[in-house]
């Protein structure tokens, strides 16, 4: 997703950014310490965004400052992370920390753009992420301890209607009740009662293992010899059927369950013959991927590349391009044969999974094998020996 955002960046000076492939979920904080509710500042400028608009901040830093942060979802305290690097980038230039990714590398120098990737490959970034994670763990453990000591606790069980209040001083295993917490802890430590009593069948309905196989409870399943299960395991997956995957047309919302049907639709409805273009242009697999991602991107922007007109919807721009045959303008190799189009415009683009570069080879093979071979008439061998073309070849070799 990180590299997809870089790959989808447009030529400098043209505001056609596509950030859809980025996955930027919001992170609920376990500890509400007030600090996490403060706005998120930009690393480079004075702009700030509310915590719930973290996605906008990341988009802002990509578009305006060319900074991409890897694996954002794994950063447990994003605000502290941002503040740390805001301070470090003031002390030292960004190139001391970030990997530089150049887009439009084959374009003229004025159309190229450098993006900066901040990730945990950098030891300092990795240490920071580990420290933030350790701090969050300590906060969570502290919160759990506060909940254990909370005598005002009162809540209904999530599985039944029984209500519990206060902190229980009952052993989970033997279910004896003790006068204070220290006595209970000593008992559980000495007796090794740090678990629930599996023999108490009141808990059986909550064990998922009891639902693995009809007619067997957890005791029977656990008593079985795993080696016999491995030996008897059937590795034949021939009858397995996965959910159908539908590929969507490059120019409209039409979806088909097979590539052949989709290619026929694009040929008839949009005059775009992908298999024929692949054969004529000699496209390998990776070139097809770049072409598909490029077309997806152009259609997403609702702008005709040939005449520069902008439309309000995809259907309008596709209708215009189909009627005027401007779809063919998308095939200019200098436009789409760029490294940034290795990354998908849509993360769930099933059409990319159906591409292959072996069809042109199979076509060539078929053309070779379909050449008719006519045998010579051997009914009169004496006449054949005199008039056969092999005599000329043999005579030529002897002469040479």
Give pLDDT tens digits for 106-130: 778 777 888 999 998 899 999 998 8
Among 361, 301, 386, 327, which Cα is nearest to 18's? 301
3 state SS for the chain? CHHHHHHCCCCCCCCCCCCCCCCCCCCCCCCCCCHHHCCEECCCCCCEECHHHHHHHHHHHHHHHCEEECCHHHCCCHHHHHHHHHHHHHHCCHHHCCEEEEECCCCCHHHCEEEEEECCCCHHHHHHHHHHHHHHHHHHHHHHHHHHCCCCCEEECCCCCCEEECCCCECCCCCCECCCHHHHHHHHHHHCCCCCCCCCHHHHHHCHHHHCCCCCCHHHHHHCCHHHHHHCCCCCCCCCCCCCCCEECCCCCCEECCHHHHHHHHHHHHCCCHHHHHHHHCCCHHHHHHHHHHHHHHHHCCECCCCCCECCCHHHHHHHHHHHCHHHHHHCHHHHCCHHHHCCCCCCCHHHHHCCCCHHHHHHHHHHHCCCCCCCCCCCHHHHHHHCHHHHHHHHHHHC
Res. 135: pLDDT tops 80:
yes
Domain ranges, ordered by start, for the chain: 40-131, 151-217, 247-354
Give pLDDT tens digits for 15-63: 455 544 433 233 333 344 444 568 899 999 999 999 888 999 999 999 9
pLDDT at 87: 93
pLDDT-derived band at 375, boundaries 50, 70, 90? low
Give pLDDT tens digits for 322-342: 888 777 777 888 888 888 888
pLDDT at 25: 36
Rounded Cα gap, residues 27 and 42, in angstroms: 18
Residue 400 CA neighbour count, 13 Å, CB half: 6
Cα 376 from chain centroid (whole Å): 61
Angle CA(144)–CA(145)–CA(151) in degrees, nearest 5? Answer: 100
208 or 278, which is more confident: 278
Contact residues for 216 (Cβ-Cβ < 8 A; gap 6+): none
How many C-beta atoms lie closer than 10 Å to residue 256's C-beta?
18
pLDDT-derived band at 367, boundaries 50, 70, 90? very low
Give pLDDT tens digits for 219-251: 777 777 655 555 555 556 665 555 566 788 888
pLDDT at 12: 42
Among 184, 176, 181, which Cα is nearest to 148's? 181
Q: What percentage of residues in the chain have a pLDDT greater than 90? A: 14
């Amino acid at each position: 997703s990180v590299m997809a955002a870089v790959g989808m960046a447009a030529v400098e000076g043209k505001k056609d950014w596509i950030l859809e492939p980025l996955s930027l979920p919001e992170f609920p904080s376990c500890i509400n310490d007030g600090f996490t509710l403060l706005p998120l500042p930009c690393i480079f400028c004075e702009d700030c965004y509310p915590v719930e608009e973290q996605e906008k901040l990341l988009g802002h830093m990509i578009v305006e400052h060319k900074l991409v942060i890897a694996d954002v979802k794994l950063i447990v305290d994003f605000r502290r992370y941002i503040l740390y690097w805001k301070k470090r980038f003031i002390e030292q230039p960004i190139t001391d920390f970030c990997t530089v990714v150049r887009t439009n590398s084959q374009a003229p120098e004025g159309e190229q753009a450098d993006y900066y990737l901040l990730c945990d490959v950098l030891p300092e970034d990795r240490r920071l992420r580990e420290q933030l994670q350790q701090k969050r763990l300590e906060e969570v453990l502290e919160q759990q301890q506060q909940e254990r000591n909370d005598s005002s606790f009162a809540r209904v069980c999530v599985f039944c209607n029984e209500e519990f209040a206060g902190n229980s001083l009952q052993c989970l295993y033997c279910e004896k009740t003790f006068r204070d917490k220290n006595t209970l802890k000593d008992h559980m430590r000495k007796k090794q009662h740090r678990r629930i009593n599996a023999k108490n069948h009141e808990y059986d309905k909550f064990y998922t293992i009891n639902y693995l196989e009809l007619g067997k409870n957890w005791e029977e399943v656990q008593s079985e010899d795993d080696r016999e299960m491995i030996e008897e395991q059937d590795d034949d997956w021939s009858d397995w059927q996965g959910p159908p995957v539908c590929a969507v047309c490059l120019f409209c919302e039409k979806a088909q369950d097979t590539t052949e049907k989709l290619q026929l639709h694009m040929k008839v409805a949009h005059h775009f013959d992908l298999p024929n273009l692949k054969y004529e242009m000699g496209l390998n697999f990776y070139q097809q991927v770049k072409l598909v991602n490029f077309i997806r991107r152009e259609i997403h922007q609702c702008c005709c590349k040939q005449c520069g007109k902008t439309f309000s919807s995809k259907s309008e721009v596709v209708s215009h391009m189909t009627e005027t045959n401007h779809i063919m303008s998308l095939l200019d190799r200098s436009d789409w044969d760029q490294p940034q189009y290795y990354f998908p415009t849509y993360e769930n683009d099933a059409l990319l999974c159906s591409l292959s570069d072996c069809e042109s080879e199979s076509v060539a093979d078929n053309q070779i094998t379909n050449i008719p071979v006519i045998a010579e008439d051997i009914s009169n061998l004496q006449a054949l020996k005199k008039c056969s073309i092999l005599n000329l070849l043999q005579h030529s070799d002897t002469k040479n």
